[in-house]
Amino acid sequence: MISLMECITFDRYIEAFRVLEKYSEEYPFMLGHLLETSKRYFPDGLAMLDIGAGTGHFARSFLEQCKGPVRSYTAIEPSPDHVAKIFENFRNLPVQREIINDFFTPETGFSGKFDLVLLSHCTYCFLPDPEPYLLHALSLLSGTGRAVIYHGSPANFCYFLNLILEEILPAKRVTDPTFTSWDVRDILERNKIPHSVSYLPGFLRAGEIFRPENTPLLHELITFSLMVEAHSMGPGVLKRTEEVIRQIAYPSAEGPLLNLGVDAITVGPLKR
């Protein structure tokens, strides 16, 4: 069964992410947290590094509402499509910026240090071993700098799906959906890196996705959640996965929701 499952490519990962982006409600919680963090630690301004910047939509919202002056914004993002959208989103934003179209690695170099290093849902891609990637990112902080890591908690519905199907899913995929915020915190604790954690109650609006006529949309969500093409899972496994994802949704006034809980991990300052 494992050999029949088709792992998605990085391009498909970017494509399937659109479902999560369209129906998720986590960014307002993250934005509020990041604005409060910058207000608390950087009232006089900051230089920012955004690792795995995506489309730049989240960063633009932050930069527009940030109370302290943003001296510079540096983004590194591997998807050319996303980089094009960053340039589009930042077209009329008066901030000094550098946009780098590349993968972040433990060897990636920058000309200076940063007050704020943002890692928003990118550490799943730090393969095969996330630790050197994470430690390198933290080494880019200035003496009083902070890193903010947004990462899915183990309560996240994606983690449950991967846990249930763990024995039959391919071991190596384009990201590691089983790498949760607890694993990030383990790395920080193991290296005696000071940090604090705040839980942000994100969710995904599933009502439209669960409609019978939108089965392709549900399959795209499953594809993104498991990092394998839903159609390659086999009809029996796919049907049971559909059942599970419906059953772990919880009711609300606006319809069924799926847990997208996020741990906001604030790191620093580091001892030099």
In order of start, what are the domains of the chain with their CATH numbers? 2-267 (3.40.50.150)
**What six digits make up the tokens of 147?**
């890193």
Pairing of strands 141-152, 262-267: antiparallel
Task: Look up residue 201 and give its DSSP letter.
Answer: -
Percent of the chain clearing pLDDT 70 (strictly above): 99
What is the rounded CA–CA span in Å between residue 99 and residue 96?
A: 10
Mean pLDDT of 43-55: 96
Pairing of strands 262-267, 195-200: antiparallel
| pLDDT at residue 272 greater than cutoff 70 | no
Q: Is the Cα dihedral 133, 152, 72, 70 positive or negative?
A: negative
What is the rounded CA–CA span in Å between residue 39 and residue 182?
A: 27
List phi, psi (to 5°) of 159: -65, -40
What is the rounded CA–CA span in Å between residue 54 and residue 76?
A: 9
pTM of the model: 0.94
As a whole number, the mean pLDDT across the chain is 95
pLDDT for 2 equals 43
Q: How many CB atoms lie within 10 A of CB 146?
A: 25
Pairing of strands 70-77, 257-259: unpaired
pLDDT digits (tens, 9 = 90+) for 62-108: 999 999 899 999 999 999 999 999 999 999 899 999 999 999 999 99
Cβ distance 226 to 169 under 8 Å? yes
Q: At what angle do helices 215-226 and 235-247 cross, to 10 degrees?
A: 90
pLDDT digits (tens, 9 = 90+) for 198-209: 999 999 999 999
- The label of the residue with tokens 């391919």 reads 170
Task: Give all strands of the β-sheet with 24-25 in edge-to-edge order.
Answer: 24-25, 203-205, 257-259
